[in-house]
């Protein structure tokens, strides 16, 4: 199943053992399962079962330690973990030393905990109780069944947009996003167009900037 199904009706999957495929996002105050097809900003929070700890630093949650003294138990349900090669590959991909955060496409088997429904100011119902600031529902990982590993230096594996550093003496220089951060559909459309007919978009950043800038000039 896809993360969007969990976001649409979390209560229907509460305490169920499920298999879900999406993008594992890990960084400071972030260990979540994402899918750019979902209209919601955040997917369920993740945590490893067994005695393996995610090491994610966040408020009111796990510490940066890589292990815990006892097997994970959530709502009186013990969560085991298959500590095999796929798990180690996922952990390796999530801890690339050159990046503060990473995004890895994976298939996970885990126990889902919906959390508690909350009424938002926009009239929508949100489920929370786990993760950073009790933001989310929880998928407690019991097994990693597939990892689409990719160590290409030409790909940005960061789950969040990055911005260039501009020295203070560069007066008049700046930057602008080539695509809006939301909705994600615009990013997916650009990705598919590049894959189908614009291969230069992956290795010619100067051309990308020239084509995308309305004036025909890249930002200083």
CA 35 to chain CA centroid, Å, is: 8
Strands (E), the chain: 17-27, 30-34, 45-48, 73-74, 77-78, 102-113, 116-119, 125-128, 138-148
- What is the pTM (predicted TM-score) of this model? 0.73
What is the pLDDT, as a whole number, of residue 178? 62
Residues 137 and 67 grouped into a single domain? yes
| Domain assignment of residue 18, yes or no | yes
Q: What is the pLDDT of residue 73?
A: 96
121 lies in the same domain as 30 = yes
Q: Check residue 52 and report its DSSP letter.
A: B
Question: Mean of the pLDDT values across residues 146-168?
Answer: 69
The sign one gets for the Cα dihedral 39, 61, 115, 1 is positive
pLDDT for the residue numbered 217: 44
Overall average pLDDT of the 158-182 stretch: 67
Whether residue 183 has pLDDT greater than 60? no
Q: Is residue 105 part of a domain?
A: yes
Residues 105, 167 within the same domain: no
Distance CA 167, CA 211 (A): 25
Helices (H) and strands (E) in the chain, counts: 4, 9
Residue 98 above 80 pLDDT?
no
Domain stop point among 148, 173, 192: 148
Same-domain check for residues 79 and 133: yes
Same domain, 125 and 39: yes
> How many Å apart are CA 131 and CA 154, to the nearest integer?
31
Find the domain containing 87 and state its range: 3-148
Could you tell me if 217 and 181 lie in one domain?
yes
Coil, helix or strand at residue 92: helix
Residues 169 and 140 in one domain: no
Taking 70 as the threshold, does the pLDDT of residue 117 lie above it? yes
Q: What is the pLDDT of residue 154?
A: 61
Strand pairing partners for 17?
111
On whether residue 153 sits in a domain, the answer given is no
- How far apart are the C-alpha atoms of 111 and 64, rounded to whole Å? 23
Same domain for 140 and 165, yes or no, is no
Percent of the chain clearing pLDDT 90 (strictly above): 32
Could you say which of 148, 179, 196 is where a domain stops? Answer: 148
Tell me which residue of 91, 103, 206 sits closest to 155, measured CA to CA.
103
Q: Is the pLDDT of residue 142 over 90?
A: yes
Q: Which of 148, 175, 203 is the last residue of a domain?
A: 148
CB atoms within 10 A of CB 162: 10
**Number of structural domains the chain divides into:** 2
64 and 130 share one domain? yes
Question: Is residue 116 domain-shared with residue 178, that is, in the same domain?
Answer: no
Residue 158 and residue 103 in contact, taking contact as beta carbons nearer than 8 Å:
yes
Instruction: Kindly give the pairing relationship between strand 116-119 and strand 102-113.
Output: unpaired
Q: Does 154 map to a domain?
A: no
Lowest mean pLDDT among 54-58, 67-71, 135-139, 215-219: 215-219
**79 within domain boundaries:** yes
Where is pLDDT greater, at 207 or 62?
Answer: 207
- How many whole angstroms separate alpha carbon 144 and alpha carbon 125? 30
pLDDT at 213: 59
Closest CA to 10 of 126, 92, 129: 126
Both 174 and 67 in one domain: the answer is no
48 and 75 together in one domain: yes
The verdict on residue 45 lying in a domain is yes
């Amino acid at each position: 199943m896809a993360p969007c199904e969990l976001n649409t009706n979390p209560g229907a999957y509460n305490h169920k053992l499920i298999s879900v495929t999406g993008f594992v996002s890990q960084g400071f105050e972030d260990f979540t399962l994402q899918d750019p097809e979902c209209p919601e900003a955040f997917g369920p929070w993740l945590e490893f079962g067994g005695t393996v700890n995610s090491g994610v630093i966040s408020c009111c949650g796990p510490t940066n330690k890589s292990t815990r003294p006892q097997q994970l138990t959530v709502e009186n349900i013990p969560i085991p973990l298959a500590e095999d090669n796929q798990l180690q590959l996922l952990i390796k991909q999530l801890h690339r030393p050159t990046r503060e955060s990473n995004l890895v496409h994976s298939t996970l088997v885990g126990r889902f905990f919906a959390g508690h429904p909350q009424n938002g100011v926009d009239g929508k119902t949100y489920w929370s109780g786990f993760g950073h600031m009790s933001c989310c529902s929880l998928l407690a990982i019991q097994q990693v069944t597939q990892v689409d590993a990719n160590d290409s230096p030409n790909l940005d594996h960061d789950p969040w947009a990055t911005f260039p550093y501009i020295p203070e003496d560069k007066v008049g220089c700046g930057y602008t996003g080539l695509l809006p951060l939301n909705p994600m559909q615009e990013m997916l459309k650009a990705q598919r167009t590049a894959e189908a007919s614009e291969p230069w978009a992956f290795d010619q950043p100067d051309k990308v900037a020239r084509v995308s800038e309305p004036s025909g000039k890249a930002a200083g």
